[in-house]
């Protein structure tokens, strides 16, 4: 096929610009060209995902595209105009500048992004809109990444001359100089007379006068205020000019002296430093933080009360930053980290570590922690920390919602590398156990790890687990001991999946019946067949043939037992046919259904549009197929659908006997009013009497192809079909509908219907221990995680078993509520019953140290997530250090909480601290007195 150029052309015999196949090739070529030459400043366009998916299905780029090469692509209706109206807020804004997107839209959920040339071509073909152009920006320091800035910075410009307010939309990567030009052009001002303040929370924080600085580096946040002041030339400092570098201090509000502040943002503390927490910690002679700086909010609480410096400071939401606020509040209430960062940690900052951030992340976090623990604050804006985070972790830049666990993982790892006491990491060759005892090998692995990684994070937050791999072929066992920073525990519903499949009888012995079974989420078709076999009481002489039904046809047979279940989407329709165990040696007969009228001729029908119901599948007993054989087989599988009022019992028995099978038939039939009647009383006005006398009336059957286009009529004679293709098409007129109950072949249930299965998915609450046991259970590796066996010299699907070996003082537990795969996205709101006190993990730890630690933990913080995948909200519960009181941290709002209300189905990250063994109490006494309670 000749690929058309990007201008497209008219296809022969078509009024459309291009065929679906041509459209697909043009868009793919334009997309490849754009991605190959992507650069900063390129334009991409936001397109409604609903429209985009319709177009993908139309051209064959959706889930069926992999079959298009086989000629099986189903022709779907051409999409209408591009409709982005659901993505925008109020159309043209007050200034008439551009459209404002709905907040919290998610790529892949609400919209997709297409390059400029692709948008032009789609607009040419389909029209519609509105246009939503967005620019490509470059992010990151160590690794540059190109990203489309879907949500530019939205600033509220307040004109000090008349107090009017305007909205400015500008890239966060734009410079301060560009902001001045934008504002002055909008208000027709001379740039030399303009002065713009960072007016966050309507407070003059500082003048924006570093013209080479980006707005992100200037810590401007989404929806914040900026203040414009305009003054005559004679009143304006002559040094303030975009082309000079005069005395900028003349324009910057002075802060209290920081002469005693170290590089880490805190004072140098004497060796007599107190280890307690609370207000007294912050009131020593050598410790004095300014009570207000550029990031502070108001010093007075919403209720007028002062904060007493015990860590009850809230964090402003800077635009979808609740995920960050939640994780930070949990960390800043972690006692060892608070003690560490309130001291002078400047000597441990590692600026030479190529894996770190030159100490900048640790300094930013330390400064933020100090502010949160200083007195006289209600809430602060973590703008400097957010800017530093965006600089080193571009994935968290912008104003989209993110995952608090992903942030926590980055932050702990980044703090470790910035504070790593090892300047020059030694090269250590990885060795095998070589039959050595686990204790010896584990100690060696931990010693090697500590030789390269030594920081406060390793001291308190890292543990060690044992990983055992076993080759399924040669039984080779490989043992490794690896460090961990947190435990990611699966919920029961994240490792299993509920699937509904309709089972059909291939021999006419039963009506279709849907079965809902539980299978491994990363299992294969073999697991599904095994579960269905048990549920439907499959006979030893039967097997199940799985198939996907789409558009009233068998779209594909799932005959490979090792095909991954992840290829089956929730919205698909899967059926299973009960067939003989030797079916692979018999001719298959697939029966499709078409709505028609027996009195109209074939050319008057639109064949494709008339297909209906679910195909039936059976197998024939011989290779020489006659018309009579096909009619008998079709009548057999249709037998369960026979309406009770259609035939007398004697004729039913005759039909069943002649066909060799069929349902058991009762001698009593019901009339319309429900009274009992004999068969002779039934009306046969709609049936030919001679056909009834001879049993079943003749069915309208024809040989067909996979698309349902009929070819040759099949009569009830003994003529042999030498080229029998295995598919027949049955025409259903009013007569067939009176004869059979077709409703059993309609309305197939989807594989998973969230609304229908809601009660089933919200099972009884699971415990934290059951999640841990699922995590530690031996299981085979996934098909994408094959292990290279050193003995077989091949990649094998080995079994893997994890065991806890060392536990850290601070144990972070991540409940895996979010699951992502190629086809499935899901969030589980399952309530996990976790202990607040006395979480005893002693029975799960395989290593018994010489100087034993306690394996009992108490909860001190929780990161919560409310809502679904497309947005939601994060909050935190935290227990005050050295006090028995809980508080709820909801961004800038802080409120007391009762212990009995902190256990909810929103719990996402659990923070535990080890209960140290009392020197007067043995480990056995500790374990017995601290039994786990959920």
CATH code linked to domain 153-230: 3.10.20.90
Q: Tell whether the torsion through CA atoms of 411, 412, 417 and 419 is positive or negative.
A: positive
- Residue 257 has phi, psi (to 5 degrees) of -60, 140
- Residues of the chain with pLDDT below 70 are 1-17, 62-75, 90-98, 140-143, 232-309, 375-377, 493-495, 597-609, 645-697, 708, 710, 721-724, 754-765, 783-784, 819-826, 849-852, 869-871, 917-934
Number of Cα atoms under 13 Å in the Cβ half of residue 134: 22
pLDDT of residue 376: 60
- Pairing type for strands 225-230 and 766-767 reads unpaired
Distance in angstroms (rounded) separating the CA atoms of residues 390 and 172: 11
Q: CA distances (Å), 294 to each of 253, 298, 324, 895, in order?
A: 10, 11, 20, 25
CA distance 73 to 131: 31
Contacts of 639 (CB under 8 A, 6+ apart): 508, 655, 656, 659, 661, 662, 663
**Closest Cα partner for 230 from 181, 182, 187?**
187
Spatial CA neighbour of 38 closest among 112, 136, 114, 172: 136
Q: Which of 449, 608, 853, 873 is catalytic?
A: 873
Q: Residue 155 forms beta bridges with which residues?
A: 168
- Return d(Cα 704, Cα 615) in angstroms, integer: 13
Measure the CA–CA gap between 420 and 353, rounded to whole angstroms.
8
148's tokens:
């489309």
DSSP string, 727-776: EEEEEE-HHHHHHB-GGGGS-PPPS--TTTTHHHHS-SPEEHHHHHHHHH
Helix (H, G, I), strand (E, B) or coil at 85: helix
Nearest Cα residue to 489 out of 761, 763, 770:
770
Residue 143: predicted pLDDT? 62
Contact present, 468 and 787 (Cβ < 8 Å):
no
Are 60 and 72 contacting, i.e. CB atoms less than 8 angstroms apart?
A: no
What distances in angstroms separate CA 4 from CA 8, 9, 121, 124, 250, one per listed residue?
Answer: 6, 7, 13, 15, 64
Q: Which helix (H) or strand (E) holds 922?
A: none
Rounded Cα distance between 580 and 562, Å, is: 21
Q: What is the pLDDT of residue 69?
A: 38
What does the buried/exposed string (b/e) look like for 368-396 if buried means 16 or more CB atoms within 10 Å of the residue's CB?
A: bbbbbbbbebbbbbbbbbbbbbbbbbbbb
Note the Cα 579 to chain centre separation in Å: 38
Q: Strand, helix or coil at 338?
A: helix
Where do the DSSP E strands lie in 125-199? Answer: 128-129, 133-139, 145-148, 153-159, 164-170, 194-198
Q: Which CATH number fits domain 496-599+608-642+698-746: 3.40.50.10800, 3.50.50.60, 3.30.1490.190, 3.10.20.90?
A: 3.10.20.90
Q: Are 260 and 270 in contact (CB under 8 A)?
A: no
Q: Does the annotation count 873 as an active-site position?
A: yes
Instruction: Give the Cα-Cα-Cα angle 215, 218, 223 (nearest 5 degrees).
Output: 60
CB hemisphere CA count around 219 (13 angstroms): 17
d(Cα 473, Cα 129) in Å, to the nearest integer? 58
- Dihedral sign of CA atoms 605, 606, 611, 616 in order: positive
**Whole-angstrom distance, CA of residue 113 vs CA of residue 426:** 45
Q: Which of 18, 184, 195, 322 is catalytic?
A: 322
Asked if the domains at 153-230 and 496-599+608-642+698-746 fall in one CATH topology, the answer is yes
The two tokens of residue 486 are 């947190």
The answer to whether residue 608 is catalytic is no
State the DSSP H helix or E strand holding residue 176, giving kind and residue range, or none if neither: helix 176-187
pLDDT one-digit tens code per residue, 626-681:
888 888 889 889 999 888 755 554 444 444 434 433 333 222 232 233 333 333 33
The set of residues, in sequence order, having a beta carbon less than 8 Å from that of 285 and lying 6+ positions away, is none
Q: Which residues of 778-789 are buried (b: 16+ CB within 10 A; e: fewer)?
A: eebbeeeeebeb
Containing 452, the helix (H) or strand (E) segment is helix 438-452
pLDDT for 784: 67
Which pLDDT score, from 0 to 100, does residue 362 have? 94
Strand, helix or coil for residue 128: strand
Cα–Cα distance measured from residue 862 to residue 899, given in angstroms and rounded to the nearest whole number: 12
Strands 43-48 and 111-115: antiparallel
Q: Which of 212, 358, 349, 367 is nearest to 294 (CA)?
A: 367
**What helix, strand, coil percent values describe the chain, rounded to 5?**
30, 25, 45
Best CA proximity match to 749, nearest among 501, 925, 564:
501
Cα 718 to chain centroid, rounded: 58
- Residue 275's CB is within 10 A of a number of other CB atoms, namely 8
Q: How far is CA 509 from the centre of its chain?
A: 43
- Residues whose CB is less than 8 angstroms from the CB of residue 611 and which lie 6 or more positions away in sequence, other chains included: 551, 552, 553, 592, 593, 594, 708
Beta bridge pairs of residue 83: 129
Residue pair 593/552 in contact by the 8 Å Cβ criterion: yes
Is residue 509 classed as helix, strand or coil in its secondary structure? coil
Whether the CB-CB separation of 633 and 618 falls below 8 Å is answered with yes
Q: Are 240 and 208 in contact (CB under 8 A)?
A: no
What is the C-alpha separation between 332 and 933, in angstroms, rounded? 27
- Half-sphere exposure in the Cβ direction for 69 (13 Å, CA): 1
Question: What's the first-to-final CA gap in the chain, in angstroms?
Answer: 66
- Beta strand 513-520 with 477-484 is unpaired
> How far apart are alpha carbons 50 and 70 in whole angstroms?
27
pLDDT tens string 99-111:
778 877 878 878 9
User: What phi and psi values does residue 461 have, to the nearest 5 degrees?
Assistant: -115, -5
Residue extents of the structural domains in the chain: 20-65+73-149, 153-230, 314-418, 496-599+608-642+698-746
CATH match for 20-65+73-149 among 3.30.2230.10, 1.10.3720.10, 3.30.70.1230, 3.40.50.720: 3.30.2230.10
587 beta partners: none
As a three-state string, the secondary structure of 319-335 is CCCHHHHHHHHHHCCCH
Tokens of 516: 């809902």
Residue indicated by tokens 């995920």: 323
Nearest Cα neighbor of 889 from 917, 860, 868 is: 860
For residues 291-300, one letter each, b for 16 or more C-beta atoms within 10 angstroms of the residue's C-beta and e for the rest, the string is ebebbbbeee
Q: Which two tokens stand for residue 269?
A: 């503390």
């Amino acid at each position: 096929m000749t690929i058309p150029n990007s201008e497209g052309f008219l296809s022969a015999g078509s009024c459309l610009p291009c065929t679906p196949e041509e459209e697909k090739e043009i868009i793919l070529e334009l997309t490849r060209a754009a991605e190959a030459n992507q650069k900063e400043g390129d334009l991409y366009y936001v397109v409604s995902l609903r429209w985009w998916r319709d177009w993908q299905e139309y051209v064959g780029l959706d889930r069926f595209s992999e079959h298009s090469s086989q000629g099986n692509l189903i022709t779907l209706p051409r999409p209408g105009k591009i409709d982005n109206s659901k993505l925008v807020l109020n159309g043209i804004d007050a200034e008439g500048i551009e459209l404002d997107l709905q907040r919290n839209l998610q790529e892949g959920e609400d919209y997709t992004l297409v390059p400029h040339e692709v948008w032009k071509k789609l607009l040419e073909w389909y029209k519609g809109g509105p246009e939503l152009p967005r620019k490509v920006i470059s992010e990151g320091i160590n690794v540059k990444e190109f990203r489309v800035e879907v949500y530019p910075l939205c600033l509220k410009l307040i004109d000090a001359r008349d107090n009017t307010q305007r909205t400015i939309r500008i890239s966060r990567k734009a410079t301060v100089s560009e902001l001045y030009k934008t504002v002055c052009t909008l208000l027709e001002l001379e740039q030399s007379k303009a002065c713009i303040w960072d007016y966050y929370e309507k407070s003059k924080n500082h003048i924006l006068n570093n013209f080479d600085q980006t707005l992100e580096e200037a810590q401007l946040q989404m929806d914040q205020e900026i203040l414009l002041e305009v003054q005559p030339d004679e009143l304006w400092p002559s040094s303030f000019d975009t082309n000079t570098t005069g005395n900028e201090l003349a324009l910057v509000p002075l802060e209290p002296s920081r002469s005693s502040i170290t590089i880490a943002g805190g004072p140098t503390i004497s060796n007599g430093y107190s280890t307690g927490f609370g207000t007294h910690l912050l009131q020593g002679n050598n410790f004095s933080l300014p009570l207000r700086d550029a990031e502070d909010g108001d010093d007075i609480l919403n209720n007028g009360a002062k904060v007493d410096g015990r860590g009850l400071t809230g964090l402003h939401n800077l635009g979808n930053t609740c995920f960050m606020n939640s994780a930070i509040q949990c960390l800043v209430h972690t006692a060892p980290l608070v003690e560490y960062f309130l001291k002078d940690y400047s000597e441990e900052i590692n600026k030479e570590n190529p894996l770190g951030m030159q100490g900048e992340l640790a300094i930013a976090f330390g400064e933020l922690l100090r502010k949160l623990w200083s007195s006289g604050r209600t809430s602060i804006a973590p703008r400097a920390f957010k800017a530093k985070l965006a600089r080193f972790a571009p994935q968290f830049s912008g104003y989209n919602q993110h995952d608090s666990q992903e942030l926590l993982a980055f932050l702990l790892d980044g703090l470790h590398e910035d504070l790593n006491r090892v300047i020059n990491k030694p090269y250590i060759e990885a060795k095998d156990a070589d039959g050595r005892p686990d204790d010896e090998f584990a100690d060696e692995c931990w010693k090697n790890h500590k030789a390269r990684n030594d920081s406060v994070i390793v001291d308190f937050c890292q543990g060690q687990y044992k990983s055992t791999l076993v080759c399924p072929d040669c039984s080779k066992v490989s043992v490794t001991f690896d460090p961990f920073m947190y435990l990611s525990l699966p919920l029961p519903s994240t490792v299993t999946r509920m699937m509904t499949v309709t089972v059909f009888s291939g021999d006419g012995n039963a009506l279709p019946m849907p079965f809902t079974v539980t299978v491994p989420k990363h299992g294969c078709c073999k697991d599904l067949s095994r579960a269905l076999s048990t549920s439907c009481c499959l006979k030893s002489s039967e097997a199940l043939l799985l198939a996907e039904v789409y558009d009233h046809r068998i779209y594909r047979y799932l005959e490979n037992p090792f095909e991954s279940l992840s290829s089956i989407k929730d919205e698909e329709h899967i059926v299973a046919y009960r067939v003989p165990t030797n079916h692979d040696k018999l001719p298959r007969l697939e029966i499709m259904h078409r709505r028609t009228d027996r009195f109209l001729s074939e050319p008057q029908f639109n064949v494709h549009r008339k297909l209906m119901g679910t195909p039936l599948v059976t197998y024939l007993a011989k290779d020489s197929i006659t018309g009579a054989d096909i009619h008998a087989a079709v009548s057999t599988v249709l037998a369960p659908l026979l309406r009770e009022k259609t035939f007398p019992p004697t004729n039913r028995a005759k039909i069943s006997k002649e066909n060799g099978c069929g349902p058991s038939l009762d001698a009593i039939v019901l009339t319309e009013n429900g009274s009992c009647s004999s068969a002779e009383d039934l009306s046969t006005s709609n049936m030919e009497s001679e056909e009834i006398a001879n049993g079943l009336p003749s069915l309208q059957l024809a040989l067909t192809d996979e698309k349902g286009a009929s070819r040759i009529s099949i009569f009830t004679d003994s003529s042999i079909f030498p080229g029998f293709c295995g598919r027949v098409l049955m025409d259903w007129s009013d007569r067939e509908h009176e004869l059979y109950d077709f409703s059993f072949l309609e309305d197939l249930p989807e594989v998973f219907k969230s609304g229908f299965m809601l009660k089933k998915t919200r099972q009884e609450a699971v415990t934290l221990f059951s999640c841990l046991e699922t995590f530690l259970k031996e299981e085979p590796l996934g098909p994408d995680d094959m292990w290279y066996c050193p003995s077989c010299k091949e990649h094998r699907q080995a079994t893997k078993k994890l065991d806890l070996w060392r536990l850290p003082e601070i144990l972070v537990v991540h409940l895996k509520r979010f699951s992502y795969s190629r086809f499935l996205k899901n969030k589980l709101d399952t309530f996990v019953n976790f202990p607040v006190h006395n979480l005893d993990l002693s029975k799960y730890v395989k290593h018994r140290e010489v100087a034993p630690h306690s394996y009992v933990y108490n909860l001190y913080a929780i990161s919560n997530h409310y809502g679904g995948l497309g947005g939601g909200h994060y909050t935190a519960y935290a227990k005050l250090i050295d006090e028995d009181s809980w508080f709820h941290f909801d961004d800038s709002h802080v409120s007391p909480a009762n212990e009995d209300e902190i256990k909810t189905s929103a719990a996402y990250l659990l923070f535990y601290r080890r209960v140290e063994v009392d020197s007067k109490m043995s480990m056995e006494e500790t374990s017995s007195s601290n039994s786990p309670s959920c």
